[in-house]
Structure 1
Amino acid sequence: MTKESRLEALHRALLAEAGQPVLFGDLVRAVWGDEPPAGPLPALRSLVRRLRQSVEDEIVTDASGYRLVVRRPGPAQLPADLPDFVGREDELAALSSSDAPVLAITGPPGVGKTALAVRLAHRVRDRFPDGQLHVDLRGFATGPAVTVEQALGRFLRALGVPPANVPLDRDEQIELYRAKLRGRRVLVLLDNATGLSPLVPDVEGCKAIVTSRNELPEQTRLDVLADDEAGALLDRLKIDGTADDRAELIRLCANLPLALRIAGAHLADRHLPDYLAELRGDGRLDALEIEGDAAVRAAFALSCGALPADARRLFGLLSVHPGTDFGVRSAAVIGDLSTEDSTRLLDVLVRSGLVEQTGERFGMHDLVRLFASEQAGSGGPPALRRLLSFYLATARHAAELVSPAVRRLDPLPLDLEGREFATAAQAQAWLDSKRVVLVAAVQVAPHPFASHLADSLRGYLNYSAYRSDLGTVMAAGLASARESGDTAGETAMLNGLGHLHWMRGAFAEALESYGAALELSPSDLMRSALLNNMGLVKRETGDLSGALEDMEQARQVQHGDTTLYGTVLSNLGTVCGARGELRKAVAHFEEALRIWEVNGFQVKIAVTHEELGVAHIELGDFDGARRHLDAAWAGYQEAGMGESRPNVLANLADLARKTGDPQQERAWASRGLEQARKIGDVRAEVEVLIRLDELEAAVELADRINYPVGRRKAQLKLARHDPALAAELLRDVRDNGDLLLESKAVLALAEATGDAAVAQEALELAKAREQGAVVARAEAFLAAQPPANGGSTSS
Structure 2
Amino acid sequence: MRIEALRRALAATPGQPVSFDDLIAAVWPGDRPANPRQALRNLVQRLRATEQVITEPSGYRLVVRGPGPRHLPADLPDFVGRDEEIARALASEAPVLAITGPPGVGKTSLAVHVAHRLSERFPDGQLHVNLRAFAEGAALTPDQALHRFLRALGAEDIPVEVGAQSELFRRMTADRAVLVVIDNATRELLGPLLPHGPRCRVIVTSRTDLSEHEQVRLAVFEEDEAQELLARMRITGSSEDKAELVRLCAHLPLALRIAAANVASGHLSDYLADLRGDDRLDALEIEGDAAVNATFDLSYRAQPVVAQRLFRLLGLIPGQDFGVEAATALLGGGDAGEPLRQLVDANLVQHDGDRYSLHDLLRMYALRLAEEPGARTRLIDYYLFNAEAAARKANPDFARMLVPQVPGDPPRHEFETQADAIAWFDSERGNIVAAIPHAGAAPAAWLLADMLRAYFYFQSYRVDWFVAARAGLAAAVEAGDVLAQAVMHGSLGLAHFSVSRLTDAIAEFTRARELLRQHPDDRVLVSLLINSGLAYQQLGRLSDAVEVFTAARELQPDNTAVAFNLGGAYLDLGPLSESLANVRHAIELSEKQGLPHVRLYALDALSEVLEYNGRFDLVREVIAEADEVRRGLPPELAHPLGGVALGASAVLAQGRPGEALESWLKALKIVQDANNQREEADLLDTIGDAHRALGELDKAFRAHNEGLALSVRNGYLRGEAENLAGLAADHHAAGDLEEALKLAVRARERAEAGELRVRLVRVLIITAAIQRSLGDHDTADKTAQEAHQLAEETECHLWDHELRQVATAR
Q: Find the partner of 1:516 among 498, 511, 519.
A: 511
Instruction: From the superposition, tell whether residues 422 and 95 of structure 1 become closer, same or farther in structure 2 (CA, over 3 Å).
Output: closer
Instruction: From the superposition, tell whether residues 542 and 436 of structure 1 become closer, same or farther in structure 2 (CA, over 3 Å).
Output: same
Instruction: Tell me the residue number matched to 1:484.
Output: 479
Instruction: Tell me the residue number matched to 1:397.
Output: 389
Do the aligned residues in 2 keep the contact of 1:653 with 1:669 (CA within 8 Å)?
yes
- For residues 707 and 287 of structure 1, the distance between their equivalents in structure 2, rounded to whole angstroms, comes to 72
SS in structure 1 at match of 2:452: helix
How do 1:406-445 residues align onto structure 2 when only pairs under 5 Å count?
406-415=398-407, 416=409, 418-445=412-439
SS in structure 1 at match of 2:763: helix
Q: Find the partner of 2:245 among 229, 240, 249.
A: 249
Instruction: Tell me the residue number matched to 2:540.
Output: 542
How do 1:112-151 residues align onto structure 2 when only pairs under 5 Å count?
112-151=106-145
Instruction: From the superposition, tell whether residues 153 and 673 of structure 1 become closer, same or farther in structure 2 (CA, over 3 Å).
Output: farther
SS in structure 2 at match of 1:197: helix
Instruction: Tell me the residue number matched to 2:493.
Output: 498
Instruction: Tell me the residue number matched to 1:775.
Output: 800
Instruction: From the superposition, tell whether residues 392 and 10 of structure 1 become closer, same or farther in structure 2 (CA, over 3 Å).
Output: closer
Residue 708 (1) aligns with residue 717 (2):
yes
Instruction: From the superposition, tell whether residues 173 and 354 of structure 1 become closer, same or farther in structure 2 (CA, over 3 Å).
Output: same
- For residues 443 and 614 of structure 2, the distance between their equivalents in structure 1, rounded to whole angstroms, comes to 54
Residue 598 (1) aligns with residue 623 (2):
no
Instruction: Tell me the residue number matched to 1:746.
Output: 764
How do 1:222-371 residues align onto structure 2 when only pairs under 5 Å count?
222-282=218-278, 292-339=288-335, 342-371=336-365
- For residues 427 and 276 of structure 1, the distance between their equivalents in structure 2, rounded to whole angstroms, comes to 49
Q: Write the deviation string for residues 353-404 of structure 1: whole angstroms up to 9, x where unpaired.
A: 11111122111111111212233x342x422222222221211122123222
Aligned length: 755
- For residues 11 and 130 of structure 1, the distance between their equivalents in structure 2, rounded to whole angstroms, comes to 15
Deviation, structure 1 residue 118: 1.2
Match of 2:527, as an amino acid? A
Do the aligned residues in 2 keep the contact of 1:143 with 1:444 (CA within 8 Å)?
no
Match of 2:100, as an amino acid? T
- For residues 284 and 593 of structure 1, the distance between their equivalents in structure 2, rounded to whole angstroms, comes to 78
- For residues 341 and 349 of structure 2, the distance between their equivalents in structure 1, rounded to whole angstroms, comes to 9
Q: Write the deviation string for residues 56-96 of structure 1: whole angstroms up to 9, x where unpaired.
A: 87554567987664221222222222222222222222233
Q: TM-score, normalised by structure 1?
A: 0.88
SS in structure 2 at match of 1:349: helix
Q: Find the partner of 1:730 among 737, 740, 748.
A: 748
Q: Find the partner of 2:465 among 461, 470, 478.
A: 470
Instruction: Tell me the residue number matched to 1:168.
Output: 160
SS in structure 2 at match of 1:773: coil
Do the aligned residues in 2 keep the contact of 1:760 with 1:778 (CA within 8 Å)?
no
* Unmatched runs of 5 consecutive residues or more in structure 2: 26-34, 689-702, 732-739
Cα RMSD between the aligned structures? Answer: 3.2
Instruction: Tell me the residue number matched to 1:622.
Output: 616
Instruction: From the superposition, tell whether residues 768 and 51 of structure 1 become closer, same or farther in structure 2 (CA, over 3 Å).
Output: closer
Instruction: From the superposition, tell whether residues 673 and 296 of structure 1 become closer, same or farther in structure 2 (CA, over 3 Å).
Output: farther
Residue 104 (1) aligns with residue 104 (2):
no
- For residues 133 and 8 of structure 2, the distance between their equivalents in structure 1, rounded to whole angstroms, comes to 48
Which region of structure 1 is more displaced relative to structure 2, 490-499 or 641-650?
641-650
Instruction: Tell me the residue number matched to 2:529.
Output: 531
Instruction: Tell me the residue number matched to 1:36.
Output: none
Instruction: From the superposition, tell whether residues 102 and 574 of structure 1 become closer, same or farther in structure 2 (CA, over 3 Å).
Output: same
Instruction: From the superposition, tell whether residues 519 and 716 of structure 1 become closer, same or farther in structure 2 (CA, over 3 Å).
Output: same
Do the aligned residues in 2 keep the contact of 1:186 with 1:206 (CA within 8 Å)?
yes
Deviation, structure 1 residue 618: 0.9
- For residues 237 and 506 of structure 1, the distance between their equivalents in structure 2, rounded to whole angstroms, comes to 57
- For residues 419 and 175 of structure 2, the distance between their equivalents in structure 1, rounded to whole angstroms, comes to 37
Q: Write the deviation string for residues 539-562 of structure 1: whole angstroms up to 9, x where unpaired.
A: 222222222222222222x257x4
- For residues 279 and 671 of structure 2, the distance between their equivalents in structure 1, rounded to whole angstroms, comes to 62
Instruction: Tell me the residue number matched to 1:696.
Output: 705
- For residues 426 and 691 of structure 1, the distance between their equivalents in structure 2, rounded to whole angstroms, comes to 39
Deviation, structure 1 residue 568: 1.9
Q: Find the partner of 2:185 among 193, 196, 221.
A: 193
Instruction: From the superposition, tell whether residues 211 and 719 of structure 1 become closer, same or farther in structure 2 (CA, over 3 Å).
Output: same
Deviation, structure 1 residue 654: 3.8
Instruction: From the superposition, tell whether residues 707 and 333 of structure 1 become closer, same or farther in structure 2 (CA, over 3 Å).
Output: same
- For residues 126 and 566 of structure 1, the distance between their equivalents in structure 2, rounded to whole angstroms, comes to 53
Q: TM-score, normalised by structure 2?
A: 0.86
Do the aligned residues in 1 keep the contact of 2:596 with 2:629 (CA within 8 Å)?
yes
Deviation, structure 1 residue 636: 4.7
- For residues 161 and 771 of structure 1, the distance between their equivalents in structure 2, rounded to whole angstroms, comes to 39
- For residues 51 and 517 of structure 1, the distance between their equivalents in structure 2, rounded to whole angstroms, comes to 42
SS in structure 2 at match of 1:317: helix
- For residues 735 and 691 of structure 1, the distance between their equivalents in structure 2, rounded to whole angstroms, comes to 22
Do the aligned residues in 2 keep the contact of 1:461 with 1:470 (CA within 8 Å)?
yes
Deviation, structure 1 residue 249: 1.0
SS in structure 1 at match of 2:123: coil
Q: Write the deviation string for residues 728-776 of structure 1: whole angstroms up to 9, x where unpaired.
A: 2212222332212211111222233425423343233223322111222
Do the aligned residues in 2 keep the contact of 1:311 with 1:345 (CA within 8 Å)?
yes
Instruction: From the superposition, tell whether residues 268 and 405 of structure 1 become closer, same or farther in structure 2 (CA, over 3 Å).
Output: same
Instruction: From the superposition, tell whether residues 330 and 767 of structure 1 become closer, same or farther in structure 2 (CA, over 3 Å).
Output: same
Q: Write the deviation string for residues 595-649 of structure 1: whole angstroms up to 9, x where unpaired.
A: 1110011221112112212211111122333333454455455332458846534
Instruction: From the superposition, tell whether residues 465 and 637 of structure 1 become closer, same or farther in structure 2 (CA, over 3 Å).
Output: farther
* Unmatched runs of 5 consecutive residues or more in structure 1: 33-41, 788-795
Match of 2:401, as an amino acid? L
Q: Write the deviation string for residues 424-453 of structure 1: whole angstroms up to 9, x where unpaired.
A: 333233223322222222232231211111
Do the aligned residues in 2 keep the contact of 1:75 with 1:131 (CA within 8 Å)?
yes
Do the aligned residues in 1 keep the contact of 2:721 with 2:747 (CA within 8 Å)?
yes
